[in-house]
Amino acid sequence: AEHQHARYNPLRDDWVLVSAHRVKRPWQGQLEKPPPEDVPRWDPKNPLCPGATRANGEVNPQYEGTFVFPNDFPALQPDAPEPDDSDHPLFRAAPARGVCKVMCFHPWSDLTLPLMSLAEIRTVIDAWAELATDLGASYPWVQIFENKGAMMGCSNPHPHCQVWASSFLPNEARLEDRTQREHLSQRGVPMLLEYAEQEAHRKERLVVENADWLVVVPYWATWPYQTLLLPRRHVCRLQDLREGERDSLASIMKRLLIKYDNLFEVSFPYSMGWHGEWRAPTGPHLEEDCRHWQLHAHYYPPLLRSATVRKFMVGYEMLAQAQRDLTQEQ
């Protein structure tokens, strides 16, 4: 606990350097501004609010629950042309098509997920599952992700997430697909199902749990308060969750995010996202064995010592490997 060591991340097939003593060093670096506390509940200039006009001139409906619309500035478009053929193997390009959507969680701008009711969070989960199903019928990968807080690049305080569906398998998904497939082949059990059982038994890094889910600081976590949300049952996709599992997911998400907010008494910034089985159970993938995948969500919060001191992934992290300043158990 007091001496540096490296820990293996089987999900990414890489290592993290743990330097527990470094959190004690004096800090004279950048201090972050805490998030504003006076966010108006409704602002006609906020493009995510009900009835507001967005950049493309479209007017949002007076929505009362979740609201999904195409991203006005998408990173992926369905009709992008094919790139030119490469004349050398070191200069390769590949097609990249898809769709990008924005999903508002609630009509009020001054709310975040931990402040929403369980019924409202359950509505978000159902909308996630519906989007994953609809977009997954046309695209091999659907990435649901939320950037919360200006520190994590969120330009709008309104509670929302994004959903990008792509014609290709992104790097992180491709890596997790390989490592989980290899683990099932070697040990005969899905990696994250076995991992959840181990963490539930050891209780060294367990943050919160209920009958269907558990949240842990992973043994291999790289961010200071990184967590991994795991189902206890073998589940491949969000849309495969049972009614009761969706209710208990809403509960454990709310409990986790309240703990984050209470840690430094600030609306905790993070980036989070869902990873699940990427082959739609239809069409050409109908007969493929996808048992190696286990549904899970990653939470990556940047705060390190307080509401104003963050962890920077620079220098050694960029040029060598990930490094953290306190043990995962601490």
What CATH number is associated with residue 23?
A: 3.30.428.10
Q: Is residue 323 part of an annotated ligand binding site?
A: yes
Q: Which residues are tagged catalytic?
A: 160
| Class of residue 244 by CB neighbours under 10 A (exposed 0-12, middle 13-18, buried 19+) | exposed
pLDDT at 258: 98
On whether residue 53 sits in a domain, the answer given is yes
How does 41-70 read in b/e, with b if 16+ C-beta sit within 10 Å? eeeeebbbbbebeeeeeeebeeeeebbbbe
On whether residue 89 sits in a domain, the answer given is no
Q: Is residue 154 part of an annotated ligand binding site?
A: yes
Q: Is residue 65 part of an annotated ligand binding site?
A: no
On whether residue 329 sits in a domain, the answer given is no
What range does the domain containing 55 cover? 8-79+94-324
Q: Is the dihedral of CA 121, 124, 125, 126 positive or negative?
A: positive
Q: Is residue 60 part of an annotated ligand binding site?
A: no
With beta carbons less than 8 A apart as the criterion, state whether 323 and 17 touch.
yes
With beta carbons less than 8 A apart as the criterion, state whether 127 and 68 touch.
yes
Q: Is residue 312 part of an annotated ligand binding site?
A: yes
pLDDT band at 82 (very low <50, low <70, confident <90, very high): very high
On whether residue 85 sits in a domain, the answer given is no
What are the tens digits of pLDDT across the range 129-187? 999 999 999 999 999 999 998 878 787 889 999 999 999 999 999 999 999 999 999 99
On whether residue 330 sits in a domain, the answer given is no
Angle between helices 191-202 and 171-187 (to 10 degrees): 80
Average pLDDT over the chain, rounded to an integer: 92
Q: Is residue 91 part of an annotated ligand binding site?
A: no
- Match 């939320």 to its residue by tokens: 146
- The strand pair at 213-216 and 5-9 is best described as unpaired
On whether residue 84 sits in a domain, the answer given is no
Residue 6 CB neighbours (<10 A): 12
pLDDT at 244: 98
On whether residue 3 sits in a domain, the answer given is no
Q: What is the DSSP string of 257-271?
A: HHHHHHHTTS---EE
Please give the tally of structural domains in the chain: 1
Which amino acid is present at 109? S
With beta carbons less than 8 A apart as the criterion, state whether 230 and 294 touch.
yes
Helix ranges restricted to H, 1-156: 118-136
Q: Is residue 153 part of an annotated ligand binding site?
A: yes
pLDDT band at 283 (very low <50, low <70, confident <90, very high): very low
Whole-prediction pTM? 0.94
3-state secondary structure of 196: helix
On whether residue 295 sits in a domain, the answer given is yes
DSSP state of 240: G
pLDDT band at 282 (very low <50, low <70, confident <90, very high): very low
Q: Which stretches does DSSP call E strand in 168-286?
A: 206-209, 213-216, 227-231, 270-275
d(CA 130, CA 127): 5
pLDDT at 31: 63
With beta carbons less than 8 A apart as the criterion, state whether 196 and 213 touch.
no
Closest of 86, 271, 278 to residue 170, by C-alpha: 278
